[in-house]
Structure 1
């Protein structure tokens, strides 16, 4: 082939290549948006939770179960029991996971929230600790006891004291302000405070016994095995669950509710907290 013929052949080949590229013939020329087609897009669910165990359970779900279910969990941690419901009501969140039924019912009654809830996921036994005594029988007359100012959890502490024979006649409407001398024969003095504060009062020399909520037991590095009093899992009505607004339109919330009851989640809870500080429920 002459030099002139070879030049014509090269020009023709280049023209064919350009035509194929313009028509999308090259396999690398597919639009980048194809990778994010609606069929593969994840549904975002914004959920608020206490740091432990709730957020840790959600992180397990996010890593191990959510992608296959088409969910992208965005987890926000809260250190108190008020903000998660406020954030849910104001639509900053799609759901929250930190509370049990008695607390939720009290919040709905007090604040008028329009919330619904799922089935119980886990139980955190309520427990009492002391840096001064080894048993509750050692508590002296007039001992000072730190207890939550939240009525739905406060009654749990009163029932534990009654079970130990230290209080009597406790009813569903009992609280530390209306106890009679007959109900409180040892004349205990109760100091009410927010749950996140009580765990810090364990080192206060004025406090003889302190009731600590389950998630704060974990964050403080405590264990119910060392508690003077602790709830059992049997017939425990304080299972924690997922909560959402009644006007929820995010289909991912229902999917998350299903995932939280996957057997793998129950197994994760058992292996992560083998001491029984958190129990599948």
Structure 2
């Protein structure tokens, strides 16, 4: 082979090498500036939630948060009572299952240093019955089921007081009351204090029960069948709760903003009707 031919081959090989190198470099540089670009970082946000409607609402907003670089992981525990301990122990970044009166009733005893970042919705608590067609059919001595946790028990008793069935003692504070705090019970109603989640199962054995709407939805009971319920001005809005200091995290702010958007408001109204009312 002549020197001229050898030189041509070497030159061709060198040109191809530069071309390949150029293609390789362009995969990691901006076409306009030639500067290296890093892949967009995605942050995972773990939010513990009750199954209905909380987890369903969070699942709905996943794509919107994904667009903003937040990978939302919804954590549903068998026992909702473990969602606050899970938050305290940093197993999750936030939770969405409770209202402020409930949080206030447990935070001091449990040592929770939490902050509420936004209100999302109200689930109007209601009175349900398999036996009564109207509240006027209630009989003397009837057995009424109510939740046995402090804040919801008070909430149930207040609802019954609004119907004129009972009267609570004056001066009750901290959203706490039990049947022992009833000052007047003209129909001599008998109150059965039950774990909130089991109320639908014992409903056939009672004249009726005051049941939280999320539990009604889980039990496939029509929320429209309530003989009476709280008004839309209920103070029991379900909230996003985080550890103190985390309220300023960018991903928490994004979560709050999406949860209180017009799109989510429409989703709640369309999917749940009277059972769940937007609180924003």
Q: Same fold (TM over 0.5)?
A: yes
Q: Which residue of 2 aligns with 1:247?
A: 245
Q: Which residue of 1 aligns with 2:157?
A: 158
Does 2:27 correspond to 1:25? no
- Please give the secondary structure, in 2, of the residue aligned with 1:62: helix
Distance in 1 between residues matched to 2:278 and 2:117, nearest whole Å: 14
Q: Which residue of 1 aligns with 2:177?
A: 175
Distance in 2 between residues matched to 1:162 and 1:278, nearest whole Å: 22
Higher deviation after alignment, 65-74 or 244-253: 244-253
Q: Which residue of 1 aligns with 2:45?
A: 45
- Please give the secondary structure, in 2, of the residue aligned with 1:41: coil
Q: Is the 8 A contact 2:124 2:275 kept in 1?
A: yes
Residues 138 and 176 from structure 1, CA distance in 2 versus in 1: closer, same or farther, beyond 3 angstroms? Answer: farther
Distance in 1 between residues matched to 2:48 and 2:74, nearest whole Å: 6
Q: Which residue of 1 aligns with 2:99?
A: 100
Q: Which residue of 2 aligns with 1:256?
A: 255
Give 1:163 deviation, angstroms.
1.7
- Please give the secondary structure, in 1, of the residue aligned with 2:97: strand
- Please give the secondary structure, in 2, of the residue aligned with 1:67: helix
Residues 79 and 186 from structure 1, CA distance in 2 versus in 1: closer, same or farther, beyond 3 angstroms? Answer: farther
Give 1:114 deviation, angstroms.
0.1
Q: Which residue of 1 aligns with 2:200?
A: 199
Task: Point out where structure 1 has 5 or more consecutive residues left out of the alignment.
Answer: none
RMSD: 2.7
Residues 187 and 47 from structure 1, CA distance in 2 versus in 1: closer, same or farther, beyond 3 angstroms? Answer: same
**C-alpha deviations, 1:32-74, integer Å up to 9, x for none?**
9x99936x112221110111111111111112x2123221111
Give 1:6 deviation, angstroms.
7.3
Residues 3 and 184 from structure 1, CA distance in 2 versus in 1: closer, same or farther, beyond 3 angstroms? Answer: farther
**C-alpha deviations, 1:173-199, integer Å up to 9, x for none?**
56334145x512222221112211112
- Please give the secondary structure, in 1, of the residue aligned with 2:80: coil
Give 1:221 deviation, angstroms.
1.7
Distance in 2 between residues matched to 1:144 and 1:209, nearest whole Å: 7
TM-score, scaled to structure 1: 0.86
- Please give the secondary structure, in 2, of the residue aligned with 1:242: strand
Distance in 2 between residues matched to 1:142 and 1:25, nearest whole Å: 88
Task: Point out where structure 2 has 5 or more consecutive residues left out of the alignment.
Answer: 30-34
Distance in 1 between residues matched to 2:219 and 2:203, nearest whole Å: 10
Distance in 2 between residues matched to 1:7 and 1:56, nearest whole Å: 71
Q: Is the 8 A contact 1:95 1:243 kept in 2?
A: yes
Aligned length: 270
Q: Is the 8 A contact 1:80 1:196 kept in 2?
A: no
Q: Is the 8 A contact 2:127 2:211 kept in 1?
A: yes
Higher deviation after alignment, 3-12 or 131-140: 3-12
Q: Which residue of 1 aligns with 2:275?
A: 277
Residues 176 and 35 from structure 1, CA distance in 2 versus in 1: closer, same or farther, beyond 3 angstroms? Answer: farther
Q: Which residue of 1 aligns with 2:32?
A: none
Q: Which residue of 1 aligns with 2:185?
A: 184
Does 2:13 correspond to 1:14? yes
Give 1:258 deviation, angstroms.
2.0
Q: Is the 8 A contact 1:45 1:250 kept in 2?
A: no
